[in-house]
Structures are given as structure tokens and as C-alpha cells.
């Protein structure tokens, strides 16, 4: 599915915000709403409503008016990811190289899910560190016939198609390494690294880093994790994890650089579920579609609305946590210089046309295939902003999240 088709599906029948608006009270009776989750719920309930303010637009030809409300810009919001994604992808144009790209995925065993959920900041940073150390070590290893610095982008996903915990990194790796002398050595066009070797090294590095965090007293073990606080149970867990084959795979290379951005667009700035996947919300139950990875068929899943909210909030990330870092020769500090070296060495232009300041209007026109500022009534004039609407003085979202009786008692 291309980026355009993701955006041009029309208005969804149901939204995550609709489920929150109707059932967040029931959720609060069953689970505490921690501060991070409160912010997410509040933002999604306020998104594109009068609460956040907006502006009035008027057609300069026929005088038709419409009101547009502001977005919440929360990275968990299904309605607020298109423009950030397009800006990010536009900036990545300048980094494209005329080499095959490899899609490498590293997945953590589900045995670790409770500990990760209770220690997201530490455990997810360990995941990034273990993956980056593994790939960089393989790039530097002369036995892999490269012996140089690899570059790659890592994208964190924490969910599966049914919103359960499934922690994994998608890594997009240009096929080659930057040598110390400034030259670029490409890898074989259909081969990056042996996945079994990658899996073993990744497993070892992750468990070593996790053990160090445990020994330093940095990990918490609340609730169902509490048995692992005991050293003997923690050792048992490690032994179990060492005995398993960790899932690592590399898809066939993307041979044409112009397809790389489209490919990246499938994975960046995604949330656990899009509004278009929600089929129905009725009598306290939510039905949504998901793809069965074994059969490649679209199926439906029906769960209680409270359980839906629990699963959705399960995938929130710590404030300030970076979920799309760059590594190796694509690391931010020397990225531009390294890209110029490689492109020059490969005999192509050192610069690509890119416009990080591309307007929202132009981005949306590219995404959905028509001019969003053209008047929908006369189809001749342009919709121009004629007035700003201030934010609401009272928060309707707060009234929904916290019952009035609790607010008065606070």
C-alpha cells in the first residue's frame, strides 16, 4: 500500500477518540490513568475540536466559509501523523544513496514483555544499543568482506496487528560501508549478513546489557514481574532466553533508491492502530480489522472497549524518547559530510533536490491528489484565512476524563 492510499481513504466511520470519549470512564474504574496516559487521552479528545482553537477560512470567489480546528500533534494520535511523516521523508531525500537498501528486523522474545512494559525507557534503550552494536560490529568485521562503518535508520514498533505487545526494530540499511579513507565499499547486491549469526550476537549483546542494568539496580519488577527480582529467578529467565532462537530477518533488498522513501513511509510515524481499521463500536465492544501474517488475510477482532483502550495506551513511549534514531555514517553529527563523501565517491551528484520547508498545502496536495485550498463549493476560488479562533476557556476533555464529582473533590 502506498502512502497516498493510506491518506485518501476518506473519513473513517469510527475513531480512537470516539472510543475514548465514550469509555474512558469505564477504563478509569478498572485501571489508574497515569500522567503520560492522561496527556495522550486529553490530546486525542481535544484534537481538531474547538478546545484547541483554529481559524475561519473564506473563499475569495464565492464567499463560502468553513472552520478548521487545530491538531493536537501528539505522536500517539492517528490523525496527526501525515504531515510529520511527509516532512521527515522530505528531509531523508538528501540522504538517499544509489545502492540497494536492506530491511532488517530485530524482534525481542515475548517472555520479556512484562519487564519491558515496566521499564520502557531502560529496556528500549537497551534494544537500540544491542541492535546498533550488532550491526556496526558486523560492518567492521573483515570476515564479512566489508570492514568499514555501516549506516542505518532504526524505527521502533511496539505492537502487533491486534495491539498486543510486540517489541521490534525495523532497520533500513544502505548496502555498503564507509571506509576510513573516505571510500565506499558496497556489499553484494543480494546479501548483507547471515541472519543466524546476527541473531546470536544480538541475543548475547541484549542479555549482557540487561544483566548489567539488573546488577546496577536500574530495573523495576512490579506486579507479575516481581518473581524476577530474585537473582535465581532472573538467572532462570536468562537461561530460558539464551536457549531460544531470537527472530531476526532481512528482506530482499530494495534495488531502486526512488522506492526507499515509499518503503520508509510504511513504517515511520505509525501509531498502534489507524482509525480506518476500526469497524464498529457498540455496546461496550470494539471490532477492528487486522492482517493475519500467517495467511496474509484481513480478519476481524472484537474486544471490550476497556481492553481496547488498555492495549492502545500500552504503546505509549516515555516523554522525549526518540523512536527513529540514525546510526553509523548516518548518525546526525557527521551525516551530511559522510553522505557527500559517499555520493561523490560513487560518481553521482553530492546534493539532491529537497525542500524541508515544503508547505502543508503542497504536502497534502501530494498526499491526497487535490488542492486542499481550492473551494469545495465553487471549485474556482481559494480558501483564505480570515479569522483566528482562540482556544476554549474550559476543557471539555477534562470533563470527560475526570467525572465532575472527582473534580470538585480535588
Q: Is 237 helix (H, G, I), strand (E, B) or coil?
A: helix
Helices (H), 93-230: 113-118, 120-140, 195-215
pLDDT at residue number 353: 55
3-state secondary structure 40-108: HHHHHHHCCCHHHCEEEEEECCCCCEEEEECCCCCCCCCCCCHHHHHHHHHHHHHHCCCCCEEEEEEEC
86 falls in which pLDDT band (50, 70, 90)?
Answer: confident
The region of weakest confidence among 164-178, 238-252, 391-405 is 391-405
Query: Has residue 17 got a pLDDT over 60?
Result: yes
pLDDT at residue number 151: 97
Query: Has residue 297 got a pLDDT over 80?
Result: yes
Average pLDDT of the chain? 89
The region of weakest confidence among 3-17, 103-117, 195-209, 219-233 is 3-17
Query: Has residue 318 got a pLDDT over 80?
Result: yes
pLDDT at residue number 293: 84
Q: At 308, which helix (H) or strand (E)?
A: helix 305-313
pLDDT at residue number 2: 34
Instruction: Note the pLDDT tens digit of each residue in 187-222.
Output: 987 889 999 999 999 999 999 999 999 999 999 999
Can you give the pTM of this predicted structure?
0.89
Instruction: Note the pLDDT tens digit of each residue in 359-383.
Output: 555 555 555 556 778 998 999 999 9
Average pLDDT over residues 134-155: 95
Residue scoring higher pLDDT (3 or 104): 104
pLDDT at residue number 263: 80
**Which CA distances in Å does 16 have to 41, 56, 274?**
10, 26, 8
CA distance 159 to 273: 9
Residue scoring higher pLDDT (124 or 292): 124
pLDDT at residue number 82: 83
What are the domain boundaries of the chain? 3-75+360-409, 98-272+322-345
pLDDT at residue number 9: 54
Instruction: Note the pLDDT tens digit of each residue in 259-271.
Output: 887 788 888 888 9
Amino acid at each position: 500500500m502506498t502512502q497516498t492510499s493510506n491518506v485518501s481513504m476518506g473519513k473513517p466511520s469510527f475513531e480512537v477518540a470516539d472510543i475514548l470519549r465514550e469509555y474512558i470512564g469505564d477504563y478509569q474504574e478498572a485501571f489508574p490513568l497515569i500522567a503520560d496516559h492522561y496527556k495522550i487521552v486529553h490530546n486525542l479528545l481535544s484534537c481538531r475540536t474547538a478546545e484547541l482553537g483554529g481559524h475561519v477560512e473564506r473563499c475569495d470567489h464565492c464567499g463560502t466559509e468553513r472552520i478548521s480546528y487545530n491538531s493536537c500533534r501528539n505522536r500517539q494520535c492517528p490523525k496527526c501523523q501525515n504531515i510529520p511523516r511527509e516532512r521527515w521523508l522530505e528531509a531523508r531525500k538528501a540522504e538517499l544513496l544509489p545502492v540497494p537498501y536492506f530491511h532488517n528486523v530485530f524482534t525481542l522474545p515475548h517472555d520479556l514483555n512484562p519487564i519491558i512494559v515496566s521499564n520502557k525507557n531502560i529496556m528500549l534503550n537497551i534494544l537500540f544499543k544491542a541492535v546498533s552494536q550488532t550491526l556496526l560490529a558486523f560492518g567492521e568485521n573483515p570476515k564479512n568482506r566489508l570492514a568499514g562503518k555501516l549506516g542505518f535508520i532504526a524505527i521502533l514498533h511496539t505492537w502487533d496487528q491486534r495491539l498486543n505487545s510486540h517489541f521490534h526494530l525495523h532497520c533500513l540499511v544502505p548496502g555498503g560501508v564507509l571506509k576510513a579513507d573516505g571510500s565506499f565499499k558496497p556489499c553484494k547486491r543480494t546479501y548483507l549478513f547471515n541472519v543466524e549469526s546476527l541473531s546470536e550476537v544480538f541475543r548475547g549483546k541484549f542479555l549482557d546489557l540487561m544483566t548489567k542494568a539488573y546488577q546496577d539496580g536500574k530495573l523495576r519488577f512490579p506486579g507479575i514481574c516481581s518473581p524476577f527480582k530474585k537473582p535465581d529467578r532472573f538467572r532462570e529467565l536468562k537461561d530460558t532466553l539464551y536457549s531460544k532462537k531470537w527472530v531476526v530477518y532481512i528482506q530482499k533488498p530494495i534495488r531502486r533508491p526512488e522506492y526507499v522513501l515509499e518503503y520508509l513511509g510504511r513504517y515511520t510515524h505509525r501509531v498502534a492502530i489507524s482509525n480506518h481499521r476500526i469497524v464498529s463500536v457498540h455496546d461496550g465492544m470494539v471490532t477492528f480489522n487486522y492482517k493475519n501474517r500467517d495467511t496474509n488475510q484481513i480478519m476481524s477482532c472484537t474486544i471490550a472497549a476497556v481492553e481496547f483502550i488498555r492495549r492502545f495506551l500500552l504503546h505509549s513511549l516515555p516523554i522525549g524518547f526518540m523512536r527513529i534514531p540514525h546510526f553509523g555514517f548516518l548518525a546526525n553529527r557527521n551525516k551530511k559530510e559522510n553522505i557527500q563523501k559517499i555520493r561523490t565517491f560513487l560518481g553521482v551528484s553530492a546534493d539532491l533536490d529537497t525542500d524541508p520547508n515544503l508547505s502543508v498545502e503542497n504536502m497534502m496536495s501530494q498526499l491526497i491528489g487535490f488542492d486542499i485550498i481550492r473551494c469545495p463549493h465553487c471549485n474556482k476560488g481559494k480558501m483564505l484565512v480570515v479569522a483566528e479562533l482562540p482556544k476554549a476557556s474550559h476543557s471539555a476533555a477534562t470533563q470527560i476524563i475526570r467525572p465532575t464529582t472527582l473534580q470538585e473533590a480535588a
